[in-house]
Structure 1
Amino acid sequence: MTAPDPAPDLDTVLGKAVALLRAFRVDDTVLPLAELVRRTGLSKGTAHRVAGDLVAHRLLDKTPHGYRLSGGLFELGMRAAPERTLLELAMPFLQDLYERTHETVHLGVRDGTEVVYVAKIGGHRQARSPSRTGGRMPMHCTAIGKVLLAHADDEVRAGVLGAVLERRTPHTVVAPGLLRGQLARVLETGVGFEREESTPGLLCVAAPVLEPDGHGAVAAISVTGPVGRFRPESHQTAVRAAATALASTLARRGGADRQR
């Protein structure tokens, strides 16, 4: 996966536009112009002018309370070939896993040192979780993140283990040695766990969608539920089976594409 996005060049028109679009965070719905100015460092006049251009190109919508991301961005995002293909092939397996567990199911990929959630399926009793489609979480405190980190290359693992690990809850593993041990167990067992490490009251089990050679992970699938009702160990076989089936499908698809 790619490295973290570089800071936009505010000396170019494109850089200014990118800065405005990236100013929106996962939980944001509408941002007033003043907040866009504060987050980007652009002048008010420049931010207003560039935002107007983005509205004209359907990348932002203008509302009575400010600006919001437009459906044009969604259309562009759905044309992103790797993620679109992954999502299309994964959805039947995610739906089957949800029907089997009736708990929240995630599909995530690695981007730099973070997890990006490509899909999330949850029913009426889904656990309250900070994750959402298109959202990001640190790798070290999520089950999907640990699975992806365990199968990442040495440089990525060393970068995460050598950095300061953010403590998001009292249960977050912030000792590199303990995290390294968890990653080793992922490689031994084929699954990783989170126990209230990203969010209090949340448990999770995840399995990797492996590359054809078995050495890297394309993505990871998880099942999440609340403390008290959810037993992650009881779902590890189902999660591992879904991830393995998706990996086989991706491998067959890749082989067919190479033969064309």
Structure 2
Amino acid sequence: MAGNAASAGVSVASRLLALLGAFDTEHKRLTLSDLSRRAGLTLPTTHRLVGELVAWGALARRADGEYEIGRRVWDLGLLAPVHTDLRLVAAPFLQDVYAATLATVHLAVRDGTQVLYLDRMSGRASVQILSNMGSRLPLHATGVGKVLLAHAPEDVQAEVLGNLTRITPYTITQPGRLMEELHRVRVEGYAQTAEEMGLGACSVAVPIRDRDKTVIASVGIVVASLHRDRARLIAALQVAASGISRSIEY
């Protein structure tokens, strides 16, 4: 009897996780039918479990009937020590960069083959972009992502290079060309994009290192153009990254 109860518990947990795993960057909002199909569950089971997830706060039901990830999942994610500590340490340095530029400033880490945005500061003068706190975007099409990809393990690089999706007409989708750019990132210490993730948005980013000089995160900025201010923006980011790294080491 105890074994059957344990199996049932695992089964229910697996189903709940399958429903949460149905969401990704390209599927941020799903209908009940979509959830049923993507999780591989029957509609009645999906309806029952989704109700429980909504009641707990893991999912939220929109006015149009679609579902999205609830705030409680994000709140739990923020409890992860590495993310919480990094955000707290980085916050004043991000604020300094934002105050000096009034442009969107990002703090990001690598999550598998995607870039995960831990923090973002922006204002009315900032360029409109796709990223938000907690969102995930492709490594190869973002400034912070290119920094993290350039310093990622070879197997991660190979996986990303084998699946270079085109997001805008300017997204780099040639593996050889991207490899050359990643080499430049490692040599010069910064990455840049020119409308590769969104039209009208360019970015520049630099690495954040821990006490062992391992790249653990990236800080970047998004502007309309890099033609005149690139050197100034890189310098501001490098000062911030250096400060964050020293604070982490301390």
Query: Fold-level match, TM-score > 0.5?
Result: yes
Instruction: Name the structure 2 match of 1:79.
Output: 79
Q: For 1:66 and 1:160, how far apart are their aligned partners in 2?
A: 31
Cα distance change of structure 1 residues 159 and 22 upon mapping to structure 2, 3 Å threshold: closer
Instruction: Name the structure 1 match of 2:4.
Output: none
**Deviations for 1:10-69, whole angstroms, at most 9, x for unmatched residues?**
x82112111222333458776432232233231110101111222343323456635443
Q: 1:232 aligns with which of 227, 230, 249?
A: 230
Cα distance change of structure 1 residues 230 and 55 upon mapping to structure 2, 3 Å threshold: farther
Instruction: Name the structure 1 match of 2:244.
Output: 246
Instruction: Name the structure 1 match of 2:163.
Output: 164
Indicate if the aligned counterparts of 2:74 and 2:134 stay in contact, CA closer than 8 A: no
Instruction: Name the structure 2 match of 1:144.
Output: 144
- 1:187 to partner: Cα distance: 1.6
- Normalised by the length of structure 2, the TM-score is 0.86
Letter aligned with residue 99 of structure 1: A
Cα distance change of structure 1 residues 174 and 74 upon mapping to structure 2, 3 Å threshold: closer
**Deviations for 1:117-149, whole angstroms, at most 9, x for unmatched residues?**
111110111111111111111111111111111
Q: For 1:92 and 1:139, how far apart are their aligned partners in 2?
A: 25
Letter aligned with residue 235 of structure 1: L
Instruction: Name the structure 2 match of 1:217.
Output: 215
Structure 2 counterparts to residues 126-205 of structure 1, below 5 A: 126-161=126-161, 163-205=162-204
Instruction: Name the structure 1 match of 2:121.
Output: 121
Letter aligned with residue 51 of structure 1: V
Q: For 1:176 and 1:62, how far apart are their aligned partners in 2?
A: 40
Q: For 1:170 and 1:67, how far apart are their aligned partners in 2?
A: 31
User: SS at the partner of 1:12?
Assistant: helix
- 1:197 to partner: Cα distance: 1.2
- Normalised by the length of structure 1, the TM-score is 0.83
Letter aligned with residue 100 of structure 1: A
The runs of 5 or more residues in structure 2 that have no matched partner are 1-9
Q: For 1:230 and 1:12, how far apart are their aligned partners in 2?
A: 58
Q: For 1:30 and 1:207, how far apart are their aligned partners in 2?
A: 32
Cα distance change of structure 1 residues 30 and 166 upon mapping to structure 2, 3 Å threshold: closer
Report the number of matched residues. Answer: 240
RMSD across aligned C-alpha pairs, in angstroms?
2.3
**Deviations for 1:204-234, whole angstroms, at most 9, x for unmatched residues?**
00000012222x3110000101148974343
Instruction: Name the structure 1 match of 2:102.
Output: 102
Letter aligned with residue 245 of structure 1: G
User: SS at the partner of 1:47?
Assistant: helix
